[in-house]
Chain A
Amino acid sequence: MRRARVLAGAGLAVALAFCGTGAWTYAQARTDDALAFSRERDDALAQGRDHLAVLNTLDASTREHAETGIKAWRDASTGPLHTELSATRAATGASARATVTEAAVTALDVRAGTAKLIATVRVDVTPQGASKTTSDRKRLEAVLERTGDDTWKVRALSAVPVAGAGAAGSGTATGGSEAR
């Protein structure tokens, strides 16, 4: 009988220890910096990919479509790029549809809320009135900024220049050129 009580006490102690260890393990995982960092990285990558596709896409078949496209650009951007894109006026012209074929985060500062992204993009350009498209491959580097809770937007976007080719554009490589 005494043994039963000792056993019961031991059982309770073991159960307590088990629960305590579980809680501790969970708390560790919850507050793990590396895990939080991983989540931020994947958020930035996923949103950056989407934004890059948007920023290289413009349906300029009609004025209305172009207007919608430029509004989408503004929503995907922030800071200097946003200001620059806001100055773009809608016009009809060649249309572009972009697909991000691959992207990777090259730098991430969680505290400052900035990230750098490199991406390869395939852009299919259709001249106005034509049905034939020509494909173009671009390689881009983007700077992302966290603007709110888990929201990343593109702050700067540029083509990665080819060294020695000289003429390769180092300015912003948005769909802007197609819009004008």
Chain B
Amino acid sequence: MTRVPGKATEEHAESGAPPAAQGTVAQDTAGGGPEAAGEAAGGPEVPGEAAGGPEAAGEAAGGPEVPGEAAGGPEAADGAGGGSDGHGAPDGRGSGSRFGGRWHAAAFAAAVAVLLLGGSAFFYGAHQLRSTPSAQNRALTDTVATERVSGEVGDGLARIFSYTPTGADATARSARTVLGGRAARQYDDLFAQLRTNLETQKITLNTQAVRTGVIELDGDTARLLVLLDQTSRRDEGAGTSAAAQLTVTARFQENRWRIVDIKAR
């Protein structure tokens, strides 16, 4: 018992606890009212807290540190320390333990460390739960946004893939509001070729989105699977129907969903 506190005192001196504070504590202890003893127990709390992390691990070490400090003054303080311990408890700390003051300091440091660690763990856990790709994807969870994007994309596809021999301009115009990015450039190339045939061969194409499913909706980007029915008619002939399946990437720009990429499936 005598060896351990001595060692702890040395360590403490090395670790550079404010010597002045140590001095005053010792003096106070020597000055010896029961109140001073309470202070002495209170004093080490602050270095304990400042030491933070390692202190939690060193809970056991925290114990000897406190007596070390109390013994930091004159040799006689040993006796005074014992006495002050006795007074320490009635000083309003409430614990009946003989080591009341010391344990309070150690337990306090440990409690703070545990609380901080626990809080951090909770925050981390909550963050983990919310940041999974599954959680980020608001398809169907945000019904309003999901309906809006599928409506606008389905409608947009129907408009840009529907044309009549005389209405090519209208289709090209609507393409400008529906498409953006890569899809707009691809469509322009395609439509330029198509346009020459359109009037000579009198082709009519009518497209409808029959099913739209939102695969992914994250902020202002969405990916959808759209099943289309297309009916084409040449001149006055009978129409032929075909199915088309597209994966569409849409981006929310200028207050509407624009199709920026189209892939056939």
Binding site for B on A (CB under 8 A): 1, 4-5, 7-8, 11-12, 15-16, 18-23, 25-26, 28-30, 32, 34-35, 37-39, 41-42, 101-108, 117-120, 137, 139, 141, 160, 162-165, 168
Q: What are 6 A-to-B residue pairs whose CB atoms are below 8 Å?
A: A4-B42, A12-B111, A23-B119, A25-B126, A137-B265, A141-B211
Instruction: List residues of B (221-265) whose CB comes within 8 Å of A's CBs.
Output: 224-225, 227, 229, 231, 239, 241-243, 245, 247, 265
The contact of A35 among B39, B43, B46, B135, by CB within 8 Å, is B135
Q: How many angstroms from the CA of A29 to the CA of B239 in the assembled complex?
A: 54
**Are the C-beta atoms of A22 and B126 separated by less than 8 Å?**
yes
- Measured CB to CB, the closest approach of chain B to A116, in angstroms, equals 9
A120's partner among B42, B116, B125, B225 (CB-CB below 8 A) is: B225
User: Is B106's CB within 8 Å of the partner chain A?
Assistant: no
Selected from B121, B130, B213, B265, the residue in CB contact (under 8 A) with A105 is: B213
Q: Which of B116-154 contact A (CB under 8 A)?
A: 116, 118-123, 125-126, 129-130, 134-135, 137, 139-141
Closest 5 CB pairs of A and B: A104-B213, A22-B122, A22-B119, A19-B119, A15-B115
| Chain A residue with Cβ nearest B247 | A102
Interface residue B45 (Cβ < 8 Å from any Cβ of A): yes
- B245 with A102: CB separation less than 8 A: yes
- For residue B130, which residues in chain A have a CB less than 8 angstroms away from its CB? 29, 32, 35
Select one of B116, B123, B208, B229 contacting A15, CB under 8 A: B116
Contacts of B139 in A (CB 8 A): 41, 104-105
Contact at B45–A38, with CB atoms within 8 Å?
no
Known: A22-B123, A163-B208. 8 other contacts (CB 8 A): A4-B46, A8-B45, A21-B123, A25-B123, A38-B141, A102-B245, A104-B215, A137-B245
Instruction: Give the distance in Å from the alpha carbon of A127 to the alpha carbon of B12 in the complex.
Output: 86
> How many residues of B are in contact with the other chain, CB < 8 A?
46
**Are B126's CB and A164's CB within 8 A?**
no
Given known A102-B245, A102-B247, contact A118–B211 (CB-CB < 8 A): yes
Once the chains are docked, how many angstroms separate the CA of A141 from the CA of B243? Answer: 14
Which B residues are CB-close (under 8 A) to A35?
129-130, 135
Distance of A38 Cα from B39 Cα, bound (Å): 56
Within 8 A of A (CB), among B198-220: 208, 210-215
**CB of A4 to closest CB in B, whole Å:** 5
Chain A residues with CB under 8 Å of B245's CB are 102, 120, 137, 139
**Cα of A131 to Cα of B118 in the assembled complex, Å:** 63
Q: A26-B122, A105-B213 are in contact. Are A16 and B115 (CB under 8 A)?
A: yes
Interface string of B36-62 (1 = CB under 8 A from A): 000100110110010000000000000
Bound complex: CA A139 to CA B228 (Å)? 10
Q: Does B108 touch A at the CB level, under 8 Å?
A: yes
Tell me whether A42 and B227 are in contact (CB under 8 A).
no
A122's closest neighbor in chain B, by CB?
Answer: B265
Cα separation A135 to B45 with both chains bound (whole Å)? 77
- Cβ of B112 within 8 Å of any chain A Cβ, yes or no, is yes
Q: How far, in angstroms, from A141 to B210 measured CA to CA in the complex?
A: 11
B141, A26: Cβ atoms closer than 8 Å = no
B140 lies within 8 A of A12 (CB): no
Residues of B within 8 A of A120 (CB): 225, 227, 245, 265
CB distance from A19 to the nearest CB of B (A): 4
Determine which of B108, B215, B241, B265 lies in contact with A163 in the assembled complex, contact meaning CB atoms within 8 Å: B241
Closest Cβ of chain A to B77, distance in Å, is: 18
- B49 surroundings in chain A (CB, below 8 A): 8, 11
On whether A21 and B119 interact (CB within 8 A), knowing A1-B42, A8-B49, A29-B130, the answer reads: yes
Contacts of A15 in B (CB 8 A): 111-112, 115-116, 119
A107: chain B residues at CB < 8 Å are 140
Bound CA–CA A157/B140 (angstroms): 21
Q: How far is the CB of A92 from chain B (nearest CB, A)?
A: 31
